[in-house]
Structure 1
Amino acid sequence: MASTIALPGQLLGPTKSNTIGPVTHISGPNLYASIAGPLVSTPSTSKSSPAATISIPRPSGALLPELATTVIGKITRTNPRQASLSILALGPNGASVLREPLPALIRQQDIRATEIDKVKVAESFRVGDVVRAVVISLGDERAYYLTTARNELGVVMAWSEGGNVMVPVSWREFVDEGTGVREGRKVAKPV
């Protein structure tokens, strides 16, 4: 490692001689930085694994999601395999608002816990929906990976195609109160 400050996606070295630490990730045979920050190398105390642990401490005061953090985000794009969203706040009710949105993905297999093969992204989310989800991976340098595969996770606020606010009527449908039209969503159970 030539520098003491890493940038997101920067190669930190091979996994043969380095062990993954906080805010780093593995891709192929190499270890990479997940966020920008100072590099910390902690020597191994184990004789079976002499590789040093490479990590990047999170800056104090910075709000960044960690594994198992509940987040609130807004769907920005969908395709048959995944939904893209911007993370806007941390906490089940969005108590900690972020200064800048963070990119995230919900893959088709992470939408529901059961009948995964029957899940359709277009029937679960629409652009503009506000979603409660949990971080399952810090992902790569492009996006966090999230899941809505629990009852209390999913769409918490939606608008109809006509632009009206919708209300949930079941675990998989919202209804436009003005027109009575129902639309499919992965509905979050209220917390």
Structure 2
Amino acid sequence: MVKTMVSESEKWLCFPGQRLCAITENTVGGEGTYEKFGYLHASLSGVVRIRKRHKDNYITVASFGSKTVVPVVGDVVTAKITVINQRLAKCSIICIGKTCLNRPYRGVLRKEDVRATEKDRVEMYKCFRPGDVILARVLPLVELNTYYLTTAENALGVAVAMSTRSSEPIPMVPVGWTEMQCPMTLVKEPRKVAKIVPESAPDYDR
């Protein structure tokens, strides 16, 4: 039975694919859920739980079995770019916060989720390259087994990029918010750089 209203204390059992509630502006799906056709669905068997934060209902499903670490809405994850085109970048999520995963999860970073401003001017090839390691935040799940990500914060973006201009691949260093440089050849390449430089380093403007 589809739930249309939830309360903080309400809990019930569910099975994979079951519709949990209609999506509203105050509904946020978390671990064990995904969105489809305007409804929040369970992605596994377990107990549905609701947490309230201000006006929002955060809905998760706790599995009956052993605890498995999966990305949750709002988590900052480490991912490696695998495929890139003009519309999006596909990646493998390898860490959630400081926790390294036993197996990677599939992630997607869409063009409109790269930056907070001037989204229509984003060029994916000037922001990321295959092999780049990025920091990103998890968005609400809209497709089962695929996590949508965003780098639209100063602290998010490319953390590690390897230079292919030298005889051996070596890590490049950030020289601004939109460029990284090979320390051997001094060749610069465009990137959406994550703000992980020391506090004493120059503060570049976006």
Query: Same-fold call, TM > 0.5?
Result: yes
Structure-2 residue corresponding to 1:140: 143
Structure-2 residue corresponding to 1:32: 41
5+ long unaligned stretches in structure 1 = 43-53
**Alignment CA distance shift 1:179-1:29 (3 Å):** closer
2:176 is aligned, of 170, 177, 182, to 170
Shift of 1:151: 0.5
8 A Cα contact 1:14 1:29, kept in partner = no
**SS where residue 76 of structure 1 aligns?**
strand
**SS where residue 178 of structure 1 aligns?**
coil
**Alignment CA distance shift 1:80-1:13 (3 Å):** same
Q: Distance in 2 between matches of 1:14 and 1:153?
A: 32
Which amino acid counterpart does residue 92 of structure 2 have in structure 1? S
1:81 is aligned, of 82, 87, 104, to 87
Q: Distance in 2 between matches of 1:15 and 1:67?
A: 17
**Alignment CA distance shift 1:62-1:83 (3 Å):** same
1:125 aligns to 2:125 (yes or no): no
The 5 Å alignment of 1:32-111 reads 32-33=41-42, 35-38=43-46, 40=48, 56-58=61-63, 61-91=67-97, 95-111=98-114
5+ long unaligned stretches in structure 2 = 2-12, 51-58, 198-206
User: May I ask how many residue pairs the two structures share in their alignment?
Assistant: 169
Question: For structure 1, which segment, 23-32 or 105-114, has the greater mean C-alpha deviation from structure 2 after superposition?
Answer: 23-32
Q: Distance in 2 between matches of 1:25 and 1:61?
A: 18
Q: Encode CA deviations 1:64-107: one digit per residue, 9 max, x unaligned.
A: 1111101001001111111111110111xxx2101100001111
Structure-2 residue corresponding to 1:181: 187
Alignment TM-score, normalising by the size of structure 2: 0.72
Alignment TM-score, normalising by the size of structure 1: 0.77
**Alignment CA distance shift 1:169-1:41 (3 Å):** closer
**SS where residue 125 of structure 1 aligns?**
coil
**SS where residue 175 of structure 2 aligns?**
strand
Question: Percent sequence identity over matched residues?
Answer: 38
Shift of 1:39: 5.7
